[in-house]
Amino acid sequence: MARQRDFTPTVAYSKTTLKDGDVYIETVDYQSSQEVDKLESKNREWIRPWSISDSRYMASNSITFGIYMESHGVVGKISIYDIDTDISKTAQITYWIDKEFSNKGIVTRAVRLINEYASTTLSLCEVYASVFHGNEASVKVLTKNSYLTDVGSTATATANGLPVELQVYKVVFS
């Protein structure tokens, strides 16, 4: 029997914006989801090698944010999912960025903002991120945000129709 999770719906449905200079993340509503979907379609080939097609990875208690730059609008997406504010006080994150804006520190700032949200608004203790082997850019983003390899912890998923093993990273909030 699956355990029930206590999650306050008002957090998921209230408009939230977090800002770091000219980069900000904002919860996705119907209108902004269309912008994010359009950008994701444009970048499909760019993000495909790192895309997980396993529905377990966004199935429960999730909040999606667009990643924005003041001068360009939406440039990516970051989601916090599998949020457990009751028992384990943990969640997981996933993200992607428009190819044009990669390697500019934007995702590093977006992860910093989502960590702030996770620790202060959701009162979580740990956040996890699963990374494909070889995705050094993602490892760099996470390590700059104090994520460490969760030694001995791996995850499996389906990517492009094939099973893949992911390395798990985590950050612990004090």
| Cα–Cα distance, 19 to 67 (Å, whole number) | 10
Contact predicate 102/7, CB 8 Å: no
The DSSP letter of residue 32 is H
Judged on CB neighbours under 10 Å (0-12, 13-18, 19+), 58 is: middle
3.40.630.30, 3.90.105.10, 1.10.150.120, 3.40.1670.10: CATH of 9-129: 3.40.630.30
Give the three-state DSSP class for 46: helix
pLDDT tens, the chain, 174 aa long: 444 444 443 344 578 999 999 999 999 887 788 888 888 888 888 777 666 544 444 556 889 999 999 999 999 999 999 999 999 999 999 999 999 999 999 999 999 999 999 999 999 999 999 998 888 999 999 999 999 997 777 777 777 777 888 899 999 998
The residue extents of the domains of the chain are: 9-129
Q: What is the pTM of this model?
A: 0.84
